[in-house]
Structures are given as structure tokens and as C-alpha cells.
Amino acid sequence: MYPEWSKRSRILLGVLLVLSVMILTVYFREGSNGILHCAQRYTVNMVVPLQSGVARAVAPVRSTFRFITSIGSLSTKSKKLEKENKKLKAEIVTLEQIKKENKRLRKLVGFKERSDFTTVPAHVIGKSPTEWQAVIVLDKGKNDGIKKNMSVVVDGGLIGQVIDSSPKACRIQLITDQKSGVGVQVVSTGETGVLQGQISGELRLSYISKDSKLKKGDKVVTSGLGGVFPKGIYVGTVRKVAKRPYSLFKEIKVKSLVDFTKLEEVLIITDPLPGNPSGLED
Amino acid sequence: MQIYLVSFFILLASFVLQTTVAPHLQVFNVQPDLILVVVVTYAFIQGPIAGSAAGFVGGILQDLVLIRGVGLNALCKTIMGYLGGMMEKALFADNVLLMMAAIFLATILNQLIYSSLIFILGERIHLWSAFLRLILPSALYNAVLAPLIYHLLYKIVVFEKKAPVFK
């Protein structure tokens, strides 16, 4: 015979499990304006000032810690940067010539020149409270013109997109999140695929044919397909290419230049997408 | 009535710490799951009924700041609260290492249930990679924090109920 409390505890367990499944079902069936989605937004809004305060408080400690841990590698890094600087100077000269030529040819064929993106700078004030999702919180929101689906970049390339925006903050789903999918193009071959995040923080490029000629080191940029990310934003470099038996596609890993664990300042692209101005939601 | 209020505030405090402080305590890309540790250690002290209720409330609070779906963590942590409560006065009380082992296993089980649920919901999970990079380190991290959290909880909750003391 089980004691009375044991029976009651099992009944409560059953009730709470059924309730959890019901809540989960409602969450997936309701729209983004449903009660649970609204509750999520309100909770995030309430937490944002606290996250911001803590982020500000720990910033000096983090910077000091980073400085101390990087002292050992500074000399090697400096030599590497000097070498890279010389190489880049030479590349700039070549690129300037190409830019001039490009401008002239665009004029000839009547193409409109692509303007630079309009961006809003923002600070990272919160990070995901679990490793199962790659999400950050920024200190800019609807009051600053930030809308859902806007792209977010740093100097190392694309990092993600706005998934919801409140008056003073917004949440960004990073491209390393498992549920993230970015339409991309391999610059050297012109092939398009989908870049997906993984739990390990790596990026996997899917839907590239097994006959593709792409190789390690090839650059990957956004393709503009799908109407979410503007075309031509640098995403990363092909790190590993492997053939899988019995598969129509290659197994490709892409490496981003961005260290997603150390994001502090980012830029939100506020331009409406060409051909899809309604892609940005309030 | 007082114990319910105290319990709720303990969960609320762990939720606030989880969303604000825990992300800054990352070690090897994992952060502690303070809500899980609080729920399970609380269940050790208070038993399966209070444990599963605390798991449900703590899980719902956690789900409200995540993007995967409200109810996922509630489901996992309700189970963990219940199982933690079943161990009340059983094996952990005499030995701090045994309690740490219990939290270690609770974290692994919680993460396995969670990953199974998100797999059912359509996400591709490389379980072995997730186990090595995420589940195992976070289980170790939580286990290390468990004695400290148990001590704090014991001091807060003990006025309502005599909790077992580990050596």
C-alpha cells in the first residue's frame, strides 16, 4: 500500500504534466498576438532593465578579465596583424580599381548603384538564459524604429535577425541558433543554400549539390532569397567540405569571423528589403 | 500560507538570477541552470508535492523568456521536482557528494527530456554532440553549485520544516 501523500503527489504530477502539454499546445496554435506570446513579451520587457543593469555592472570586470587573459597572446597577434595589414593595403588598391570599373560598367548597362545600408547601433544588454537557444537582447526597440525581421551585423559579418521588438529593447535570434536558417550564396561558384545553426555553435551549409566545385576558404554571403536578409552581407568562410555517401548534397561547415560569445556592440540594418518592404513587421 | 509565499519568492529570485546573472557566469560555453538546482534541492527538502509544483512554476517562468515554446521547461522541471521530492530523506541527506551526484543526474535527465521534446517539435539534434558540449558540462556546473544552493534554501525554508542536514 502506498501512503496517501504518495497518491496525491502522483495525481498532482499527472495534472501538472497535462497542464504543461495543454499550455504548449495553445502556444503553438495561437498567433503571435496570442495570450502566451504577449505574456512572453511582457516578461522580457520587465526583465530588460534588470539585464541592462547587470550587464553594465559586470562590463568593467569582464573587460579587465579579457585584458588579463589576452596579455600572453598580444605579441603574436601584433605580428600577425602587421602582416595582414600589408596584405590588406595591397588589396585596397586593387579593389579601388575594381570599384571604379564597376561604377563605369553599371553606368553603361543602366544599373542603379547599390547604396550602403542604413544602420542603428545598439548594445547587447542580455544573453540567453539557456544554451539551447542562441538569442541576445539589444537596448534598441520600437522607439528607435526597430522592427521584426531586421538584420543585425557586426564588423565580422551577419549575426542574426530581430525576432521581436518592444518599445525599448529587441531580441535577436543569432545565426548559430538551431532554428535559424539564412539563405546564402557561395561567392566563387554562385550556388545558393541554407545556412543553419547547430547546438555546438557551428554553422552548417545545406542543399549544396554533391557535384559542387566549392572548396575550403570560399566566401559565403547572404543570397537575399527568402526576403529576410538583404543580399550580399558577408556571413563566413567555408571551413570543411565532405561528401556523404548516398546523399545528394555535400556536408559543409562554415566558419564565421564573429565570436558570438563576446558580442557587445552591433548594427541593426533598418532599410526595407528591396521587393519585400512589408517583410518588416511592427 | 507563509511557506507558499516564501517558495514563490525563492523561485522568482532564482528566475531573476537566471535571466540576469547566469549568462555572465558562463564557463566553457555553459551556464548554470539555477532554476533547476533550486527546484530539485527544494524538492529534497519539501517532498514531491511541493517539488513538482515548484518545478511547474519555475519552468513556466523560464519558458516566458525563451523562444522555444511555453510549457517545455514546465514539463521537464515538474518531472524533476517530483523525482527530487521522491528522494526526500532517502539517499542524499547523509552525504554532500551523493547530493551533488543527484543534481548531476537530475540535470542530465532534465536535458535529455528537453532535447527529446524539441526533437519531437521538429528540431534536428545531434545528441552525442549536445551531450558532450552542453549536457555534461552543465550537469557538472550545476552539481558544483548544488551544496551552496541547498545551504541557502535550507536556511530559508527550515523555519517551516525540519530539513535533513548533510555532512
Alpha helices in A183-262 (DSSP H): none
> Is A83 domain-assigned?
no
Residue A199 is nearest to which of B21, B33, B134, comparing CB atoms?
B134
DSSP label at A249? Answer: B
Q: Do B67 and A201 touch (CB under 8 A)?
A: no
CA closest to B81 among chain A residues: A13
Q: Is B64 within 8 Å of chain A by CB?
A: yes
Counted across chains A and B, CB pairs separated by less than 8 A come out at 141
Q: Do A27 and B71 touch (CB under 8 A)?
A: yes
SS3 content of chain B, % helix, strand, coil (to 5): 75, 0, 25
CA B60 to chain CA centroid, Å, is 13
One domain, residues A161 and A265: yes
Beta strand A151-154 with A157-165 is antiparallel
CA dist., res. A260 & res. A270, Å (int): 21
Query: Do the Cβ atoms of A96 and A89 come closer than 8 Å?
Result: no
One domain, residues A241 and A176: yes
One domain, residues A147 and A253: yes
A250: domain CATH number is 2.40.10.340
Collapse the DSSP code of A198 into the 3-class scheme (helix H, G, I; strand E, B; otherwise coil) and give the result: coil
> Is A87 domain-assigned?
no
| Cα-Cα end-to-end distance for chain A | 59
One domain, residues A133 and A222: yes
Count of structural domains within chain A: 2
One domain, residues A270 and A162: yes
| Amino acid (1-letter code) at residue B146 | A
One domain, residues A55 and A122: no
CA dist., res. A224 & res. A179, Å (int): 19
Q: Residue A47 has what pLDDT?
A: 87
Which of A36, A53, A68 marks a domain boundary?
A68
> Is A218 domain-assigned?
yes
- pLDDT per residue, tens digit, chain A (282 aa), is 456 667 888 999 999 999 999 999 999 999 888 899 989 888 888 888 888 888 888 777 777 776 776 676 777 888 888 888 888 888 888 888 888 888 777 777 666 555 578 889 999 988 888 888 899 999 899 999 999 999 999 988 899 999 988 888 899 999 999 889 999 999 888 899 999 998 877 899 999 988 888 888 899 999 988 778 888 899 999 998 888 887 888 889 999 988 888 888 899 998 876 655 455 555
Chain A CB contacts of B135 below 8 Å: none
> Is A113 domain-assigned?
no
> Is A212 domain-assigned?
yes
One domain, residues A16 and A139: no
Q: State the pLDDT confidence band at B167, using cuts at 50, 70 and 90.
A: very low
Chain B CB contacts of A54 below 8 Å: 20-21, 24
Residue A13 is nearest to which of B67, B70, B78, comparing CB atoms?
B78
Q: Give the H or E element holding residue A26.
A: helix A4-29
Phi-psi region of A244 (alpha: psi -120 to 50; beta: other; left: phi over 0): beta
> Is A227 domain-assigned?
yes
> Is A268 domain-assigned?
yes
CA dist., res. B166 & res. B41, Å (int): 12
One domain, residues A147 and A256: yes
Q: Which three cell numbers stand for residue B93?
A: 541527506
One domain, residues A215 and A136: yes
Q: How many CA atoms lie within 13 A of B144 on its CB side?
A: 9
Q: CA of A246 to nearest chain B CA: how many angstroms apart?
A: 19
CA dihedral over A46, A146, B29, B54, signed as positive or negative: positive
SS3 content of chain A, % helix, strand, coil (to 5): 40, 30, 35
> Is A59 domain-assigned?
yes
Domain boundaries, position A236: 118-274
pTM over 0.90: no
φ, ψ of residue A174 in degrees (nearest 5): -75, 155
One domain, residues A64 and A122: no
One domain, residues A258 and A136: yes
Q: Is B116 within 8 Å of chain A by CB?
A: no
User: What contacts A246, CB < 8 A, 6 or more positions away?
Assistant: none
One domain, residues A122 and A196: yes
Chain A CB contacts of B31 below 8 Å: 129-131
